[in-house]
Structure 1
């Protein structure tokens, strides 16, 4: 896809652009960014990533092969009204907006190829966990091009649109849960006598090593956990404390709450 136009310049747009430029997936000359009012953010994107033209002028939409909807969900209707009269009939639309269904996008931008994706901000380091759903207008070659763009910023799984609510809760919001976990564990370690620096480095390496074990191993997580948990040992004591305090239930409720909010947002934008 030659000309890519971002409508919106939020954190997800920045993460995707950063990932693409880092991996040389697309040329900066082919990437355009529209934003409603934040000129400082537009200037920063141009200076940081070398995007050839960062613009507010909506006329650029006339050249678009791929339009990426990356504004705040509350701004989607106004954003679509701005670009709809200018959008070429053959342009593909990729939405990275949480909760906004493809039906809403079709109503605003017409029947055309549409993909709806939920990446996460780990796209900044080329490690997003993304999922994508398609409408029935999209062709195989268009799917391949979008998958190529998404694979440049991490892994991508094809799902049904209905499943994106769970994906949003799991991997879309997932980095925040991990950071919150690290915050809590780091605070506890500091109370136990470790310095912030030592606690952070040990935690980050523990997470990275555990993630790599999960990635490389064919064993389920329960087996890997059991190999670390000696009967009567320190790990078992910690696991028992987690179980007694409802750790599994807490995570399940976390996922359910985020999924429910995604569904609520979907109804708001229908």
Structure 2
């Protein structure tokens, strides 16, 4: 059964937390018309102004108390900060049902930790979206524990398809996904800073340098999406012997650019494992 065949019209969703990822998901759900607003409840620890703002924007139900969100939801989405996760989950002990699907967007916290804190052998899906979820272009890694049914996995997939692409993986792969696509936008923005700065230093206006850089990245991304050529081959096609591109690439190689990017991804993944270890 395709995830697209799952009927979400009777599924009740509860968000515990009201941060930027929740707002992005609510926006995606609204745009894709996956759920009606009265199927969604949201709560957070203390910021009532934020709850009222999201309720007004999306028409969802804001709740000051988490009890009604938990008892009235088929799917609970844990979206609190990692430092608050243990306290929040321990406070939910005895309230979560074994048939409720728990979806975590808490960075670094394993499904086994959540299960232990909740004190219930319940289905848990752990996810790792990235910041591009704000414009519906997230890359989301999704991992399920042993209690998640196929239908529940498809429900989770549908919800995160509302903010971008979804890839189901083994939980141990989420750390490298964090290093690659979770932190990846920052590497791209860092590259844009450098290219834009170089254009401005050479005499272009900042606005022109930005437009040229962004359009260049967009074109390169589309080439990668719409051709079967490997990136190395596409790079060679741009690089004429003795030409301008070769001259630029030689500078990047002298600064060990390839090694730097590889090391950045691997170090970010390692840091994700380090942060997660404190909760195990």
Same-fold call, TM cutoff 0.5: yes
Decide which moves more: 34-43 or 138-147: 34-43
**TM superposition shift of 1:133:** 0.8
Name 2:128's counterpart in structure 1: 118
**Residue 211 (1) aligns with residue 211 (2):** no
1:117-147: CA deviation from partner (whole Å, max 9, x where unpaired):
1111212222111111110101111111111
**Residue 71 (1) aligns with residue 80 (2):** yes
Q: Secondary structure at the match of 2:92?
A: helix
**Residue 55 (1) aligns with residue 63 (2):** yes
Q: Secondary structure at the match of 1:86?
A: coil
Asked if the contact 1:63/1:88 (under 8 Å) is kept, the reply is no
- TM-score normalised per structure 1: 0.95
**Residue 104 (1) aligns with residue 104 (2):** no
Decide which moves more: 22-31 or 237-246: 22-31
Q: Which of 52, 59, 68 is the aligned partner of 1:43?
A: 52
Q: Secondary structure at the match of 2:94?
A: helix
Structure 2: 5+ residue stretches without partners: 1-7
Asked if the contact 1:58/1:82 (under 8 Å) is kept, the reply is no
- TM-score normalised per structure 2: 0.92
Q: For 1:180 and 1:190, how far apart are their aligned partners in 2? A: 15
**Residue 191 (1) aligns with residue 177 (2):** no
Decide which moves more: 99-108 or 118-127: 118-127
Name 1:33's counterpart in structure 2: 42
Q: For 1:57 and 1:191, how far apart are their aligned partners in 2? A: 54
Q: Which of 205, 213, 223 is the aligned partner of 2:233?
A: 223
**TM superposition shift of 1:47:** 2.7
**TM superposition shift of 1:185:** 1.8
Provide closer, same or farther for how the CA distance between residues 149 and 222 of structure 1 changes in structure 2, counting only shifts above 3 A: same
Q: For 1:202 and 1:28, how far apart are their aligned partners in 2? A: 41
* Number of aligned residues: 269
Name 2:12's counterpart in structure 1: 3
Q: For 1:72 and 1:181, how far apart are their aligned partners in 2? A: 29
Q: For 2:245 and 2:63, how far apart are their aligned partners in 1? A: 55
Q: Which of 147, 153, 157 is the aligned partner of 2:157?
A: 147
Q: For 1:5 and 1:232, how far apart are their aligned partners in 2? A: 60
1:182-234: CA deviation from partner (whole Å, max 9, x where unpaired):
12221222111111111111111111111111111111111111111111111
Q: Which of 127, 137, 151 is the aligned partner of 2:137?
A: 127
Q: For 2:237 and 2:66, how far apart are their aligned partners in 1? A: 58
Asked if the contact 2:139/2:165 (under 8 Å) is kept, the reply is yes
